[in-house]
Amino acid sequence: MADIIISIVANRVAAIIEDEIRYQVNLVRGVEEELLDLSEKLNTIKTVLEDAEKRGVKDESVKNWLKKLEDTAYDVDGILDEWNYALLKHKMAGDAALASAEQKVCCSHTPSSCLCFNKVVARRDTAKKIQNVKAKLDEILREKDDFNFVMHLPSIDHMPKSGRVQTTSSIELEKVIGEDIERNKNDIQRKLMLNGDSQILSIVGMGGIGKSTLAQLVFNDIQTQVMEDGFELRIWICVSDPFDVAAIARGIVESVGIETIPPNTNQLELVLQKLRDCISDKKFLLVLDDVWTQDYNKWEPLKINLKYGAPGSKILVTTRNERVAKMMGTFDDDIYRPQELSDEECWSLMRRIFLSGRSEEECRDFEDVGKKIAKKCKGLPLAANVLGSLLQFKTNLEEWENILESEIWQLKEAELELFPHLLLSYNELSPALKRCFSYCAVYPKDSKINVESMIEQWMALGYLGSVTGNTVELTGRDHFNNLAMRCLFQDFEKSGELGEHVEWCKMHDIVHDFAQFLMKKNERAEMRKRCCQVCDPFLVSQVKGNRSLSWDKRTPRDLCDCLTSVRVFRSNEVLHRPPPQGMKKLIQLRWLDLSHGILSQEDLKSLCKLYFLQTLLLADCWLEEITAEIENLVHLRHLDLSDNKRLKELPESMCSLPELQILNIEGCKDLYRLPEEIHRLQNLQHLLIKVIPASYCFPEGVGQLRGIRTLKLDWFHGGSVYNNKLGLLKNLNRLTGSLKLNIHFTSMSDLEELVADAGEAELRNKIHIHTLHFHFEDDMDESERSSSSAAAASPLWLEVIEALEPYHKLNLLKIWGYKGSRLPHWMSSPLNLVKQIYLFGFNEVRSLPPMGKLPFLEVLYLKRMKELKVVGREFLGIESSSSSSTSGHVVAFPQLKRLEFYNCHEWEEWEDITAEDEESADVSVMPCLTRLCINWCEALKKLPHRLLRKASSLRFLNHYQSSELVKRYSDKEGSAWRSLSQYNPKLRISSLV
CATH number of 536-714: 3.80.10.10
Instruction: Return all residues near 356 (Cβ < 8 A) that are at least 6 apart.
Output: 392
Q: Which residues pair with 235 in a beta bridge?
A: 286
> Where in the sequence of the chain do the CATH 1.10.10.10 domains occur?
429-520
Residue 354, H or E segment: helix 343-354
Instruction: Return all residues near 750 (Cβ < 8 A) that are at least 6 apart.
Output: 719, 720, 721
Smallest CA-to-CA distance from 417 within 426, 408, 406, 425 is with 408
CA 344 to mean position of chain CA atoms: 33
Spatial distance between the Cα atoms of 575 and 923, rounded to a whole number of angstroms = 67
DSSP-based three-state secondary structure for 684: coil
Report, as an integer, the average pLDDT of 849-873.
95
CA distances from 705 to 639, 684, 713, 758 (A): 17, 7, 16, 19
pLDDT recorded at residue 784: 64
Spatial distance between the Cα atoms of 211 and 207, rounded to a whole number of angstroms = 8
Spatial distance between the Cα atoms of 492 and 341, rounded to a whole number of angstroms = 19
CB atoms within 10 A of CB 285: 23
Report, as an integer, the average pLDDT of 708-735.
79
Q: Side chain identity at 16, as an amino acid letter?
A: I
Spatial distance between the Cα atoms of 436 and 480, rounded to a whole number of angstroms = 8
- The most confident of 67-81, 142-156, 965-979, by mean pLDDT: 67-81
Using the 8-state DSSP alphabet, how is residue 377 labeled? Answer: G
Phi, psi of 987 (to 5 degrees): -70, 130
Spatial distance between the Cα atoms of 934 and 902, rounded to a whole number of angstroms = 6
Query: For domain 429-520, is the CATH number 3.10.20.30?
Result: no
Report, as an integer, the average pLDDT of 544-555.
80
CA 385 to mean position of chain CA atoms: 34
pLDDT at 210 over 70: yes
pLDDT at 46 over 80: no
pLDDT recorded at residue 122: 52
pLDDT recorded at residue 992: 66
> Where in the sequence of the chain do the CATH 3.80.10.10 domains occur?
536-714
- Summary mean pLDDT of the chain: 80
Cis geometry, peptide bond prior to residue 242 (ω within 30 degrees of 0): yes
CA 922 to mean position of chain CA atoms: 45
Report, as an integer, the average pLDDT of 290-299.
90
Report, as an integer, the average pLDDT of 725-734.
90
Report, as an integer, the average pLDDT of 838-858.
94
CA distances from 830 to 131, 770, 845, 846 (A): 71, 18, 21, 22
The least confident of 190-204, 464-478, 693-707 is 464-478
pLDDT at 467 over 60: no
Q: What does pTM read for this prediction? A: 0.74
* Residue 107: pLDDT band with limits 50, 70, 90: very low
pLDDT at 165 over 80: no
pLDDT at 893 over 90: yes
pLDDT recorded at residue 105: 44
What is the share, in percent, of the chain residues with pLDDT greater than 90? 28
* Residue 616: pLDDT band with limits 50, 70, 90: very high
Terminal Cα-to-Cα distance of the chain (whole angstroms):
62
pLDDT at 266 over 70: no
Spatial distance between the Cα atoms of 502 and 55, rounded to a whole number of angstroms = 35
> Where in the sequence of the chain do the CATH 3.40.50.300 domains occur?
173-336
Fold of 173-336: Rossmann fold (3.40.50)
Spatial distance between the Cα atoms of 247 and 239, rounded to a whole number of angstroms = 9
* Residue 733: pLDDT band with limits 50, 70, 90: very high
* Residue 805: pLDDT band with limits 50, 70, 90: very high
* Residue 415: pLDDT band with limits 50, 70, 90: low
Query: For domain 821-993, is the CATH number 3.90.25?
Result: no
* Residue 871: pLDDT band with limits 50, 70, 90: very high
CB 892 within 8 Å of CB 876:
yes
CB atoms within 10 A of CB 151: 11
Q: Which residues pair with 713 in a beta bridge?
A: 690
Using the 8-state DSSP alphabet, how is residue 415 labeled? Answer: I
Smallest CA-to-CA distance from 712 within 767, 805, 642, 654 is with 642
pLDDT at 844 over 50: yes
pLDDT recorded at residue 487: 80
Count of H helices and E strands in the chain?
Answer: 31, 30
Q: Side chain identity at 868, as an amino acid letter?
A: L
